[in-house]
Structure 1
Amino acid sequence: MLHLYIARHGQTHWNVEKRMQGWLDSSLTELGLYNARALGKRLKDIEFNQVYISPSKRTEETAKAILGSRRLPLVKDRIFREMSLGPWEGKKQEDIERDEPDLFHAYFQNPEAYRQPGCESFFDLESRVRLALQSILNSHSSGNVLLVTHSVFILMLLNIIKGRGIHDIWNSSYIHDTSLSLVAFDKNGTADILKEGDGEHRKPISVF
């Protein structure tokens, strides 16, 4: 049995400012680091065989905070990156919604129709996430694997595991910063989602 632990990166400064991130980056906030360390304490008794991350600084910072003193190499791969958003990256959501209301609406309400030149479509992302998942399954038939990645990537991964179409990608539990999803795969590759967007370790924002 393979257990795939899937964590979103910690809260970033751009998350606080409600800026789209995509392939661009922003460092973790104090709260983001706190919650990542809290997730690490929650997972301290899990012996990971491998840790996969995207090349983004925010996922690397999160993974290191989760692992703490554990000396495990981080396997970086662009296949685990967030969805590419091109000219939207670094812009505030409210500005995008004001300037490009139809495209913004398509992104969140009609993902199958969303298209932006030079960026990934949800169909592109789905293909990439399928390859990423298959790569992990090809490399690991048992044990515990940690994947630290991004919210839309995680939503697509769970959507694929559930066997749903792209139109349902947003119809899942919200993937908060450092939230944990856990999927068990048997030897035949059959998946069982044990946790989805679980954030019981997270500190309320009001504390900071």
Structure 2
Amino acid sequence: MLRIILVRHGETKWNIEGRFQGQVDTELSERGIAQGQRAAIALAEVPIDAAVASPLQRSYLTCKMAADKHGIAVHKDDRLLEISHGLWEGKLADDVAKTYGHELALWRTEPEKVTMPEGESLEDVRIRVRAAFDEYTRTYDGQTLLVCAHDAVNKAIICDCMGLSVAHFWHIKQDNACINVLEYDEGMWRIVTLNATAHMGYLISGIEQKGL
């Protein structure tokens, strides 16, 4: 059996501002660093054999905080990169609405129908992340793997593992530095833990980020 501990990166300044980040390599905010440290403490006593992260520093550094407590290296996997928001990247949600009002409304209601201008669709993300997870089932069989990625990445693969299409993208929430646990055994995925945030001192964050 493979157990994957799937974490979303800590908060960034662009999360606070409501900017679409995508594949821009933004930094963790002061609170984001603290969130990563809390996730690391929560996972310190959990057996972890290996760690993989998106190469973007907000995910890589969040992962490294936890991996360091286990004395293991973090391997970077480009397939875990956040969705490319294309021309939306770096823009505030309100500014995107002015130029791409129809597309933004569709993104928030029927996200499976949207391909970001000069960017990706959720199906593009699902395909590359599923390829990564399929490889992990072979490479890390019998182990516990820490994976740190992004909002859209986590939601897309959770949908896929549950047998849902990416049309259910907004049915899943991923708070900054949340912890999910997925298990794979004999050809079947199951969700053990979803969007856990108790390690940060709250059960429900109440935070709704605009730049997603």
- Output the TM-score relative to the length of structure 1: 0.92
SS in structure 1 of the partner of residue 187 of structure 2:
coil
Q: Structure 1: how far apart are the matches of 2:116 and 2:16?
A: 25
* Structure 1 residues not aligned, in runs of 5+: none
Does residue 194 in structure 1 map to residue 192 in structure 2? yes
Q: In 1, Cα distance between the equivalents of 2:167 and 2:59?
A: 27
1:63 aligns with: 63
Cα distance between partner residues in 2 of 1:17 and 1:48: 34
Per-residue CA distance 1:88-133 (angstroms, 9 max, x = gap): 1111111112221111112221122212342111221121121111
Q: Is the 8 A contact 2:162 2:190 kept in 1?
A: no
Conserved? CA contact 1:35–1:203, under 8 Å: no
Shift of 1:189: 2.7
1:31-76 Cα offsets, whole Å, 9 max, x none, are 1111111111111112222100011011122112223443211110
Whether the aligned pair in 2 keeps the contact of 1:96 and 1:104 (CA below 8 Å) is yes
CA–CA distance in structure 2, aligned partners of residues 117 and 7 of structure 1:
28
Q: More displaced, 174-183 or 42-51?
A: 42-51
Q: How many residues align?
A: 203
CA RMSD of the aligned region, Å?
Answer: 1.5
Q: What SS does the aligned partner of 1:103 have?
A: helix
> 1:3 aligns to what?
3
Structure 1 stretch displaced more, 67-76 or 11-20: 67-76
Residues 159-199 of structure 1 show CA distances to partners (whole Å, capped at 9, x for unaligned) of 00110112111112x1000000001122x131221111111
The farther-off stretch of 67-76 and 120-129 is 67-76
State the match for 2:170 in structure 1: 170
Deviates more, 1:188-197 or 1:115-124: 115-124
CA–CA separation in structure 1 for the residues paired with 2:201 and 2:31: 8
Change beyond 3 A, Cα 1:26–1:203? farther
Q: Which amino acid aligns with 2:193?
A: K
Partner of 1:90: 90
* Sequence identity (%): 25
